[in-house]
Amino acid sequence: MLAIFVLIMMSTLVTAKDAAAIDFVINFIGNENKPSDLVYGGLCWGKHAELNFVKAAKDKGVRASGSLNTRVAYHEQDIIFLADLDCNGSHEFLYNASSKHLFRFPYRWLVLLSSTNEAKLMYLWRIPLLITSDLVLARRYGDFFELVELHKPAPSGSMITTPRGFFNGSLIDIRPQKELYRRRRNLMGHHLTMANIIQDSNTTKYYLPRDDRLQLHHDAVAKVCWVFAKVAFELLNATPRYTFSYRFGYKVNGQWSGMVRDIGDNKADLGKRYKL
């Protein structure tokens, strides 16, 4: 008799915990106020809670599914991924997403983790969450969730934690502005590399970084763009680096060359293109 009672107690406890998580996630997505397609992976909430979750999402006009269904057309900017680090399956979900580069812009992420599970934070520290990444970590204290945003100013940089608000039944959002590009403006001196195109003269390699206005008739547009790019780098508190290419690039057999390739291969962060 006692055993049955304990069993019932436990199952209601689990359900209550998941109900709070479901309520929170639905509120979080509602607060985003954007079209959203929710994709979750590795959840261990049980079939019943998962069904409740999908239904609650659907009632709010949000499509939720357990994998990226390739037969459905998604808009990348609408996708929000959900992982629960308290579930072991979510580690693999994060790993898979990382190898598919799904932590970059414009994907959004919501990751749940209970406050007592400190050790699992290491799964997040490894992810390349760069300055345009949009990941919110929700630490769970019973039915209360504390929200922080995570990002790194550079792949080698340390993780920056920015408070985002909390959920106590209502979602309290403390972001001064919602747009990331208005809030993430400090690269803390990390490098950004611009790719420059030389077409007129190789003396440009010498004069351009010196910014000395000599031989301006060679690669004039590249030299003007350089000045603008430098102002942008200063605004972002980035340290400039540069590379030179001899052409913008062509696509041959599916492979790009020139500046486009440098950007694709992450040898450069910024390419400059102009139209005369």
Ligand X SMILES: *[C@@H]1O[C@H](CO)[C@@H](O)[C@H](O)[C@H]1NC(C)=O
**What residues make contact with ligand X under the rule CB under 6 A?**
41-42, 44, 88-89, 92-93, 96, 168-170, 172, 201-202, 246
How many CA atoms, within 13 angstroms, populate the side-chain half-sphere of residue 56?
19
**Nearer CB in complex with ligand X: 106/169:** 169
Cβ atoms of residues 81 and 102 within 8 Å: yes
C-beta closer to ligand X: residue 44 or 51 = 44
**Shortest Å, Cβ 114 to ligand X:** 12
CA dihedral 118, 27, 164, 174 (to 10 degrees): -150
Q: Work out how close the CB of 1 gets to ligand X at its nearest, in angstroms, rounded to a whole number.
A: 28
The Cβ of residue 207 has, within 10 Å, a number of other Cβ atoms equal to 17
Least distance from ligand X to the Cβ atom of residue 142, Å: 12
Shortest distance, CB of residue 213 to ligand X, whole angstroms?
20
Q: What are phi and psi of 218, to 5 degrees?
A: -90, 125
Going 241 to 245 to 251 to 253, the CA torsion angle's sign is: negative
Nearer to ligand X, 45 or 226 (CB): 45
| Number of Cβ atoms within 10 Å of the Cβ of 200 | 14
Query: Measured from the CB of residue 41, what is the shortest distance to ligand X in angstroms?
Result: 4
Nearest to ligand X of 12, 88 (CB atom): 88
Min dist. Cβ of residue 175 to ligand X (A): 15
Helices marked H in 135-236 = 180-183, 204-210, 220-235
Tokens 């990382």: give the residue: 98
Question: Closest CB to ligand X among 132 and 168?
Answer: 168
Q: What are φ and ψ of residue 252, in 5° steps?
A: -125, 125
Residue with tokens 């792949």: 155
Cα gap 65→270, rounded to integer Å: 35
